A and B are shown apart, each in its own frame.
Chain A
């Protein structure tokens, strides 16, 4: 990465905030601790709303365990008492034992069924909560964030990272709880049976704690790496699929494959690494367990032979000991899924921590009433803009007033700052200092709903969403009737080609409108804006792909619509510029000429030069 990170401060105190640490595989210990705390905090907020149901689920696990554990006791009773009694002719005990056993089986099946339904509800509630939070947050984040944070990364936060939490829920808290219950229960039993042997067993836990710690740290590292690697795979995948035309036309397949292979190998190795760490961990747990067993057997036997220990106690002790270590495998399984989930939650919480800088006001000021949707005035007061505090100034502080109803054309060379100025009006960005006002109200005080109803920006890029043509036009006004949609399409000259499509307005545009030409997509984008019918219209090179007859229709529509609206138009066609009431020539972030087209043509300035060039380019 050679670009600046979204939160690219070098300050160590802030080095871990937001998404800054995402691409770093090894972070310092201090930062690692903070990241973990952040992930756990996120997990805690997710669990809180379902805490009651989770407690109930725990209770069911305990019940199920009780039912399960009573089974062997009843069998033992049947064999020790029931059968001898039955041979002697008394079947009462046997009947109770068999009946009890069947009952326990039934009870544990029923409890388990209820538990599964309950725990799946809890898990799904958690997932939907997390998905909603990420999605809504990503929507709230400013454009500047999305411009520097790859789309593939947001996608992987919402897919592969959420999946990691899903996996943790699948492994299930029940295994962990069962394991902990047995561990505690058996420890108590062993301590009660024989203190010295029990202490020996508990001493065996010391190396286990150390091994577990090692495992947790190593698997965390491994999973940080898998989660990073899969995100990179997603980025590469999304990019090549979206640019498939260029990929094929320029034979980039091979190069793409070698990039993908590199990432694929990284992901494969990271995953294999995680599994190997797990393998070593379970081996060590087993080893410590079995060796402790041998030791207990040796000391126990010696003490029994010496007469210091009852045979029955040793037998029971050994039986319990064997069951003492089994749950540790479940705990390992859980820890494994947990560290994978934590690595993903770390990235998710980072995204959630990013501040929506272009935030909605808490107490929005309503815009003045605007009967008949007439134009609104736009005022820039000492507005200055730069992308980040360290980046160079794109627009030095300037003042500008566009009275209500005026159509302003912005002209100037590529990179002069025309688009940036336009984006300030649509509040894609906020000015770094100074203010932008709509009808005198600071844009930062206007609610998003009001702002988007009042001002709409149409860009050169005409993204179509999956759905029908009508759906895509209706984006401008979700409650529009079919008649309104058709009227909008007609106004911009789109009705004809839309009705010629296989299913007319109901034709599925397919992926990104792949079935439509760029010009057709642009017409649909225009129809969207016309349907939205805003008081302020911002057009950023919105007619570049239209053919001449279509542009003529759009232009006509614009002229009538813009008559009483405020408009800001960036265009490189003279015809579009000339419908403006006023032209601003922008160069290097500054407005260098300002006046009516006629006045500027007669003056001996840049606009005049441009105008001459345009005229020369005509036939």
Chain B
């Protein structure tokens, strides 16, 4: 692997050293199996059209040697008909070859992509934090398109041309063992050169595809970070990085082409030298009388007929290597383990569950990091209770909340909901009972309705409206040009931070979850809206168990109790006023500047 690649995609995941291209391609077999009939049919069509193409000159020969030479036009109509029929058959087989492969190759590509997407959506957050999204995107788009093109063209010709080469060699040996041997002697170095070339080419192909991924990452960041780039006028710096990466890619591509050019030169040259040698040795034999001129002509003709299958080896090898690398890159992601999975024998949620959430000696460490973020957290959130989680920046509050809906799994201890380890529940069940809202409200390019209901089936417009009302979002949604149908998110209307967060809150409450996990969702709201959302939430929170990450006294006020998280442990639990009075760390965290500033200004 190129160590100079600045943004390496895959620390730890998958093995990126080039393995045999056959092995990488073989992994595509399960996807090829359903379409193997079409692929074989397409290969047969290629062979068939080659046969037709070869027979037409033979029939023409018969016309010239027969009716024309003898001036006897009797069999002429039949021979002409034969040319027309063969010609039509050849054309139809041309059609068939592409037609059969059209559906097959595009179907394989679509299925590979669907399965990749399916897998990616289930991979844990830790995977997504580690992988550059450009690397994922380049796999989902350009690598898969490489594989499709390989199946549609190179793959079939690789098989057909190999068959043609073997058949051609057999014919040569049958004509004259000497001519066959000469052809073989000149073909042998090709095998060596090709295999040496292959290992070099594969490294370059891999590098180039990784560089495409890096380039895609930069492109993505340049667009998603456009505000920051514009605010600091740093577009030129990123452009310089982009150009450097584009230039690296160009250099790799050029190295690939140089290698190809060498191989192709050898591939073009050696068979030609073989034909020259055939001519030379053949003539000696003809002079000796051990070979007829006819045999020599036939031998040379067969050898030249083999020139296309031979010439195409360079191109086919390049395509195969590219496809093999694409496949290897693809499987790197598919091989990443989905660590957050449904248990083998999931237990049903208790019917009379009240939504008690308990952390038992919970520990958490990011993979590959030696330091535990959470070091034995014990906390109980009683049914119907709201607990605020307070702690200094980076103390692990967000990590702790993510453990409840299993966006990540504990590395020690356990989290239970109504006494059941969350890992014993079906994910779908767990995530129905537990809903979340994040600090950064993510909206999708879809209607307001869809953004609130998200995936849940059976959510009616009325449910959506109730949720919007709770989140104090109904009024502004009604004022949007198309109400619930207004497209928002990246491809639609842009909303203010407060509006976005209110929609995210509506989303959290729409499924009437028993447990709400809120990661400081009020941070971006202005004073009036915050008060309104708080007011509404208060009524909702009375019915559910809630864990709320809080930075502000105003948010803490929503809670029945407050837990202070510091140094990876819960260091204090109590009511806000108790903790303010007794815990100096807490006082430092929560005695607001608003308070002091206000006092100053009043003073």
Contact = CB atoms under 8 A, between A and B. Distances in A.
A294 B593 contact: no
Nearest 9 A-B pairs (CB), nearest first? A452-B233, A290-B87, A105-B272, A279-B98, A514-B129, A120-B257, A275-B102, A283-B95, A243-B442
A87 B56 CA distance: 34
Contacts of B499: 414-415
Given A3-B493, A87-B286, A618-B553, A476 B83 contact: no
Contacts of B91: 283-284, 286-287, 290
A250 interface: yes
A105 B276 contact: yes
Nearest to A306: B71
**Which of A152, A314, A315, A458 has the most CB atoms of chain B within a 10 A radius of its CB?**
A152
A463 B227 contact: yes
A163 B142 contact: yes
B73 to A, nearest CB: 6
B207 interface: no
A540 to B, nearest CB: 9
Interface stretch (B177-185, B234-242, B462-470): B234-242
A257 interface: yes
A275 B108 CA distance: 15
Contacts of B239: 132, 135-136, 139
A592 interface: no
Contact of B118 (A147, A257, A510, A550): A257
A239 B529 CA distance: 28
Given A116-B261, A253-B121, A497-B393, A154 B95 contact: no
Interface residues of B, number: 188
**Which of A147, A252, A451, A520 has the most CB atoms of chain B within a 10 A radius of its CB?**
A252
A82 interface: yes
B2 interface: no
Contacts of B243: 128, 132, 135
A339 to B, nearest CB: 16
Contact of A426 (B105, B140, B223, B231): B231
B524 interface: yes
A451 B233 contact: yes
Interface string A511-550: 1101111111001010010001000000001001111111
Contacts of B262: 113
A121 B276 contact: no
Interface in B587-602: 588-598, 600-601
B60 interface: yes
Interface string A484-523: 0000000000000100101000000011101111111001
Contact of A94 (B84, B142, B230, B283): B283
Contacts of B531: 613, 617
Nearest to B396: A517
A414 B498 contact: yes
Interface in A238-282: 238-257, 260-261, 264-265, 267-269, 271-273, 275-276, 278-280, 282
Nearest to B82: A294
A50 B454 CA distance: 51
A230 interface: yes
Interface stretch (B20-28, B162-170, B212-220, B352-360): B212-220
Contact of B233 (A112, A449, A515, A546): A449
Contacts of B189: none
Contacts of B493: 3
A567 to B, nearest CB: 14
B574 interface: no
Contact of B269 (A109, A230, A459, A552): A109
A293 B217 contact: no
Contact of A251 (B142, B273, B440, B454): B454
A548 to B, nearest CB: 6
A234 B141 contact: yes
A229 to B, nearest CB: 11
Contacts of B589: 547-549
A101 B272 contact: yes
A280 B96 CA distance: 9
Contact of B261 (A112, A302, A610): A112
Contact of B133 (A97, A238, A253): A238
B471 to A, nearest CB: 13
Interface string B558-572: 000000000000000
B578 interface: no
B380 interface: no
B219 A135 contact: yes
Contacts of B283: 78, 82-83, 86, 91, 94
A2 B227 contact: no
B419 interface: no
Interface in A13-36: none
Nearest to A525: B228
Contacts of A244: 121, 125, 128
Contacts of A294: 80, 83-84, 87
Interface string A143-154: 100110011101
Contacts of A245: 125, 402, 407, 438, 442
A619 B398 contact: no
Contacts of A82: 279, 283
Interface in A81-135: 82-83, 86-87, 91, 94, 97-99, 101-102, 104-106, 108-110, 112-114, 116-117, 120-121, 124, 127-128, 131-132, 135
A515 to B, nearest CB: 6
9 contacts: A83-B286, A105-B268, A146-B223, A150-B491, A160-B145, A241-B128, A248-B122, A478-B234, A515-B129
Nearest to B59: A297
A271 B590 contact: no
B576 interface: yes
Interface stretch (A192-200, A378-386, A437-445, A573-581): A573-581
